[in-house]
Amino acid sequence: MRQVNVKRNTSETQIEIDLNLDGTGRADLQSGVPFLDHMLDQIARHGMVDLTVKAKGDTHIDDHHTVEDIGITLGQAIAKAVGDKKGITRYGHSYVPLDETLSRVVIDFSGRPGLEFHVPFTRARVGDFDVDLTIEFFRGFVNHAGVTLHIDNIRGINAHHQIETVFKAFGRALRMALELDPRAGGVVPSTKGSL
């Protein structure tokens, strides 16, 4: 089983994540940021991973540190759970629509962190959530998971829909990339022999 527990404790946040890459989409989310919990639920459900997030952060200042550090910790958890990457599909992609909105996410478990984030948000906030925190979450994730991630919102008017389609597509792309390929024979999916 590809299951891990990862903790991150700083002067700004205390975070614990339990992750099972071979789960059924169950989530127990207590980030202290309700909109982020809604988005993390999309990752679990569409990624078919079991995800528990318990976080306490300096949300009395703002949500920035909590959102970013959850991205960092999730990236660390994914990297630890996937291990040497033997037998994984490696690449994943997904297009997800929601009413007027369409987003595309493409991921490569390359071992090289890289983020291309192209989401032209139509407003600055969704309720109390600062939309700029979306890129902070994914930047933290990418840098600690060691993945290349391309996120494109192709069209959209509603900022909630823009963010939700990104998280759903991310979950689905993640699921595809982390599937064990029975034809791969348990080898690392790279001509270099390592990732």
pTM: 0.97
Catalogue all structural domains in the chain, each as residue range(s) with its CATH number: 3-184 (3.30.230.40)
> What stretches of the chain adopt beta strand conformation (E)?
3-9, 13-20, 27-30, 50-57, 91-98, 101-108, 114-118, 125-126, 129-130, 148-155
Contact of 39 with 133, CB cutoff 8 Å: no
Question: Residue 190 has what pLDDT?
Answer: 86
Question: Residue 168 has what pLDDT?
Answer: 99
Contact of 151 with 107, CB cutoff 8 Å: no
Q: What is the mean pLDDT of residues 117-141?
A: 98
* Distance, CA of 56 to chain centre: 19
Task: Give 69-126 pLDDT, tens digit per residue.
Answer: 999 999 999 999 999 999 999 999 999 999 999 999 999 999 999 999 999 999 999 9
Question: Residue 94 has what pLDDT?
Answer: 99
Q: Are strands 3-9 and 13-20 parallel, antiparallel or unpaired?
A: antiparallel
Q: Is the model more confident about 189 or about 102?
A: 102
Contact of 30 with 57, CB cutoff 8 Å: no
Q: What is the mean pLDDT of residues 182-186?
A: 87
pLDDT at 1 over 90: no
First to last CA, the chain: 21
Distance CA 174, CA 135 (A): 17
Q: Is the model more confident about 192 or about 50?
A: 50
Question: Residue 193 has what pLDDT?
Answer: 80
Which of 107, 114, 100, 68 lies closest to 165, judged by CA? 100
Contact of 1 with 22, CB cutoff 8 Å: yes
